[in-house]
Structure 1
Amino acid sequence: MHFKKISIYYFASVLILSSCSGKKEEEKTVYENTKFTKGNENTVHLTEKQIQSVGVSTTSIQDRNMEKLVRLNGKVEIAPSHISSVSSIMGGHIKSINVINGSHFSKGQVLAVVEDPQFIQLQQDYLVTKAQLEAARLNFNRQKDLNTSKASSDKTMQTAQADYSTLQATLKGLEEKLRIIGISAQGLHTGNIRSRINIYAPFSGFVSRISVNNGQYINPADTLFELINPAGLLLELKVFENDVNDVKTGQEILVYNNQKPDVKSNAKIVSVVPSIENGGSATAVAKLSSVNPEFVKGMYINAEVSISSRNTQGLPNEVIVSYENKNYVFEDLGKSNYKMIPVITGIADDQFTEILKADFLKNKKIVQKGAYSLLMMLKNKAE
């Protein structure tokens, strides 16, 4: 009994090994028996048995309506018109700083407080001039009445008028100086003179840089803060040469960053720079449709541009084979001969791939099923 079991196992093993060996020999025969046309390493000849094994079928170049999806990448930038340097109109010491780098602020918010005795002097000059102007007005009116009755000379009246006009101009100038440092002249009186002025935010945005510290003395020419207005956020995108003609001003695009690829924001291309750089790409500038606080200056971003359907020529995807970073198709020459031809591909979808400059493929039979097997045979030959 024991001997019989061993015999059965032995014969079963022999049959399995013979079957595997037969399959390997058959596959080996398909490739090793391949014949090649002399002088043309891109042409292969198949036997009838090989054709049956590979299952070769052909197709031809076809007219298709295809939609192109162009993928771009670039960085977030800010328009120079939306980057502002803030300084103090008059010099003084920094008393307090109310923001930090990167913080958000609202229009009219106090960014810093500056203190100096000259602010007191300016308010004092305004109040003194205002009082002098009132006295000059009364004197001018009196001299005008006296001159009417010839009780005073014309010269005296003219001097009074000049003094009044001079003080009017001086007061107006002082009022403007107070206005630009944030002090209202209308409500100013001796009881509310102050030594400090506020530096206000001119718009809502983010602090890009702080250039001062508490206690520092600043001059009017010194920059205190660099502020960014997010309304001026721009997306600078690289457009490769093959896609330049498809990307145009006014197109809607979807933008996302690498951290959140599933969260896409709407944007619109506002300009395309009409020149190709050394790297083989042009620059397209886009603007977000709405402010997105997650997009900050310097961030790397990606974009997708959907090009409207266009009529083009293409082939089924399985027709195209790739070798050493180049694309090829196989032409059926007849009599079981097949030639590998280089092609330039364009846009592609789930079923078809566009063939650029495809006129040379018209009226040619192109291998559809079996193209990859033919490529393997050529590679086997090269080896």
Structure 2
Amino acid sequence: MKHIIQFATVFLLLTGCGNKNNQKSASEEQSEEKGIVVTQNQFDSNSLTLGTMEKRTFPKMVETSGMIDVPPENRASVTAFMGGFVKKTSLLIGDRVKKGQLLVTLENQEFVQMQQEYLEVFNQLDFLKAEFERNQTLFDEKIASQKNFLQAKSNYEMAKARYQGLREQLQMLNISPSKVEQGQISPEAAIYAPISGSIIQMNVGRGSYVSPATEILEIVDNSHVHLELTVFEKDILKVKKGQKIQFKIPEASEETFNAEVHLVGASIDGAKRSIQVHGHLEREDENFLPGMFVDAMIMTDTIKTWSLPEEAVIESEGSHFVLRLLGKEDGGYTFERVAVKPGNTFDGHTEIIRTEWSETDQFLTKGVFDLIGG
């Protein structure tokens, strides 16, 4: 009898637990069926809004990356035509210079020797010219021999060529030939800025020796910057001149900037299987600096499709959801959480790849994150 009573007790306990579990499961199913309920007061106090899907134009994008750069004519590498020791320079990286401004003064005894040679040839030129003209006259009158005439002509032409060559070399060193002709010889040569801009590299200091192969400094003019993007082979045929570009500078700002495809490269880089795309910026008054890394999207085509505001689509646990309005009654709103497959996001709206909904269906377009989280 005792065993029978114990068995009955255990049976009743199990039955009670089962009923409780069934009740709980039924309660969850009922809650799931009811969806998410929001009172009118909650709706108003949280500034929630409703909206319907609308058809919008979305661009098809080619993802790429690259950097901010300047045209070749806006970048100058300054070198010396002849070696020498830096006698004077007061410039630092970041200094602004104007075209024609003195950058560096070099000193070398070879400059003195070149000026001496120039002055010697200059002083001989008048004599050699007169000798040539005299022999030409005598030769024409058959008084002087052809040999003497040709020798005089050769001496004059050689001196003239040497004079012209030395003159050009002096001008390349920014040494005035006119001053040398007046006897003003200097061991110094000046180097001037070929363009206006900012110094981004300074490789020498006072007393340094520079050879003709040494880059003394580099100047960049930021007044015109552009995009240099790398597009991979699989996307090359999609990119055309005139297409719009949106880009960000991830290390510096979250802002999105606009540009346009200006040039598409004519050959593929064999190693990277890519091509260079040159883009012109919509606005150049931003603080862009050459060398800044950019992430960019090139808009290659457009498609018109259904969409919702970007805020209406929430990602949660690896899936995307929207809240569709089931009904409004008793002063409250009932929503169902629906999984969706989103497409591109552009201009504050997200493409919705789903067509079974009606155009009149309403969705929560603001405040979704507060209700279902992310």
Question: Take 2:97 and 2:125, find their aligned partners in 1: how far apart are those partners?
Answer: 41
Retained in 1: the 8 A contact 2:58–2:351?
no
Q: Does 1:354 align with 2:351?
A: yes
Superposed CA deviations along residues 95-151 of structure 1, whole A, max 9, x for unmatched, are 001311111111111100001121121112112112212111111111122223332
Q: Specify whether residues 179 and 265 from structure 1 end up closer, same or farther in structure 2 by C-alpha distance, changes over 3 A only.
A: farther
In structure 2, list runs of 5 or more residues that go unmatched.
1-22, 40-49, 269-274, 327-335
Tell me by how many angstroms 1:330 deviates: 7.8
Tell me by how many angstroms 1:225 deviates: 1.0
Match of residue 159, structure 2, among 140, 164, 167: 167
Amino-acid identity (%): 24
**Could you say which residue in structure 1 is the equivalent of 2:172?**
180
Tell me by how many angstroms 1:233 deviates: 2.9
Q: Which is further off, 182-191 or 202-211?
A: 182-191
Retained in 2: the 8 A contact 1:258–1:302?
no
Q: Say which SS state the counterpart of residue 119 (structure 2) adopts.
A: helix
Retained in 2: the 8 A contact 1:252–1:268?
yes
Question: Take 1:52 and 1:256, find their aligned partners in 2: how far apart are those partners?
Answer: 40
Question: Take 1:108 and 1:52, find their aligned partners in 2: how far apart are those partners?
Answer: 73
**Could you say which residue in structure 2 is the equivalent of 1:287?**
280
Superposed CA deviations along residues 264-287 of structure 1, whole A, max 9, x for unmatched, are 987544357999xxxxxx997543
Question: Take 2:282 and 2:364, find their aligned partners in 1: how far apart are those partners?
Answer: 47
Question: Take 1:30 and 1:54, find their aligned partners in 2: how far apart are those partners?
Answer: 23
Question: Take 1:236 and 1:133, find their aligned partners in 2: how far apart are those partners?
Answer: 54
Question: Take 1:353 and 1:236, find their aligned partners in 2: how far apart are those partners?
Answer: 29
Q: Say which SS state the counterpart of residue 129 (structure 2) adopts.
A: helix
TM-score by length of 2: 0.64
Superposed CA deviations along residues 284-311 of structure 1, whole A, max 9, x for unmatched, are 7543456548322344678899999963
Once the two structures are superposed, the pairs formed by residues 1-383 of structure 1 within 5 Å of their partners are 33-35=27-29, 46=33, 50=34, 64-66=55-57, 76-78=68-70, 82-231=74-223, 233-235=225-227, 249-251=242-244, 267-270=259-262, 286-288=279-281, 292=285, 294-299=287-292, 311-315=304-308, 320=313, 322-328=315-321, 340-347=338-345, 353-356=350-353, 358-359=354-355, 361=356, 368=363
Amino acid corresponding to residue 35 of structure 1 in structure 2: E
Tell me by how many angstroms 1:164 deviates: 1.1
Superposed CA deviations along residues 286-340 of structure 1, whole A, max 9, x for unmatched, are 434565483223446788999999631235778755421421358999xxxx895
Retained in 2: the 8 A contact 1:136–1:160?
yes
Q: Specify whether residues 210 and 329 from structure 1 end up closer, same or farther in structure 2 by C-alpha distance, changes over 3 A only.
A: closer
Question: Take 1:51 and 1:163, find their aligned partners in 2: how far apart are those partners?
Answer: 107
Question: Take 2:358 and 2:191, find their aligned partners in 1: how far apart are those partners?
Answer: 77
Q: Specify whether residues 88 and 372 from structure 1 end up closer, same or farther in structure 2 by C-alpha distance, changes over 3 A only.
A: closer
Question: Take 1:290 and 1:362, find their aligned partners in 2: how far apart are those partners?
Answer: 41
Q: Specify whether residues 117 and 290 from structure 1 end up closer, same or farther in structure 2 by C-alpha distance, changes over 3 A only.
A: farther
Total equivalences in the alignment: 318
Q: Specify whether residues 112 and 266 from structure 1 end up closer, same or farther in structure 2 by C-alpha distance, changes over 3 A only.
A: farther
Q: Which is further off, 163-172 or 289-298?
A: 289-298
Superposed CA deviations along residues 60-85 of structure 1, whole A, max 9, x for unmatched, are 99551357799999753445664432
Q: Which is further off, 94-103 or 226-235?
A: 226-235
- When the two chains are superposed, the root-mean-square deviation of aligned CA atoms in Å is 5.2
In structure 1, list runs of 5 or more residues that go unmatched.
1-28, 37-43, 276-281, 377-383
